[in-house]
A = this chain, B = another copy of it.
Amino acid sequence: MIIDPLKDLPTLADIEDAAERIKGVTFHTPLLRSDALDAVVGAPVWIKPEMLQRTGSFKMRGAWNRVSRIPEADRAKGVVAFSSGNHAQGVAESARLLGMKSTIVMPADAPAAKIESTKRRGATVRLYDRIKESREAIAAEIAAESGATTVRPFDDAWIMAGQGTAGLEAARDAAAMDVRFGSLICNASGGGLLAGFAVAFEALSPATEVYVSEPEGHDDLIRSLASMKIVSNAPGTRSIADALMSPEPGVLPFEIHKRRVKGGFTASNDQLLDAMSFAFHHLKLVAEPGGANSLAVLLNNRKHFAERGPILIVLSGGNVDADMFSKAIARTPPV
């Protein structure tokens, strides 16, 4: 089926198509278990560890599904994207593999690890001031000048379908083990990953309740769902979850969120650091602040989720600087 990715919503068929396309380029991440996590939560928990994905986050899935569809004739003009750092790496890596130029507009205060990794993958990085400048405007200008294809972070059906391959893998792997999730918790910024999971689970595990996890002060999606229309975060609100600072849900993802997301919870900076410490001490996984949001939400709302039976949490990324990580793991993990 030919879809218009800037207008249409992805279906399960689009996710299955994306799964074929990304095979051999991205990794099929496993579902992991932890007896320590099961014990503190009081229900069996399954972890989808997207920090183990190529580029250290799920973003490679959507980026490859989008960038690899750019027609041959347009490839010489390159791609442009804006991102706090994970989409940046996914787009840069996809472009590199296709022999294309990439320009990524990144906030000057992004983690050094993300900026370095994006450059290492061959991208030209244009830093901007998160408060004073508009990343959309800068990217639009670069696109207009160069003819580069803009790769949006979430408002694109191909991007959402690509991110949804993580949900497809998790749903199929769970079915093969005869596991039925009562609930799943997924981090959201613009909400592309959450939308992808929601579409995959709507088809393959419709009884699973879908929850969103957001950083405190960036609960734009939770508030948008409450009013059934898109609302923004207060400008200038900060969180250590640098990956989850989109000002509002994406227009296309929100159409799916409205249909499928049951509710949501936020986590404070302290709760994010505690969750990172838990992941270090017990899961032996490196989670970035935003990547650990779902775990933080689970650890702080145990009863709500345990009552619903087996739980799936999506740890969306692990691109964190050593100093932030050291600060987190010095904390005693929650018991």
Contact = CB atoms under 8 A, between A and B. Distances in A.
Contact of A280 (B35, B52, B55, B322): B322
B285 A284 contact: yes
A134 interface: no
A284 B286 contact: yes
B322 A51 contact: no
A113 interface: yes
Contacts of A318: 284
A162 interface: no
Nearest to A97: B35
Interface stretch (A2-10, A186-194, A217-225, A324-332): A324-332
A56 B35 CA distance: 10
A35 B326 CA distance: 25
| Band of interface residues on A | 20 to 34
A30 interface: yes
Instruction: Select the residue from A56, A284, A322, A330 with max chain B CB neighbours within 10 A.
Output: A284
A51 B281 CA distance: 11
A134 to B, nearest CB: 31
A99 to B, nearest CB: 16
A27 interface: yes
A56 B286 CA distance: 14
Interface string A14-49: 000000000000010010111100000000000001
A242 to B, nearest CB: 16
Contacts of A326: 322, 325-326, 329-330
Contact of A113 (B49, B55, B281, B330): B281
Interface of A: 27, 30, 32-35, 49, 51-52, 54-56, 93, 113, 280-286, 318, 322-323, 325-326, 329-330
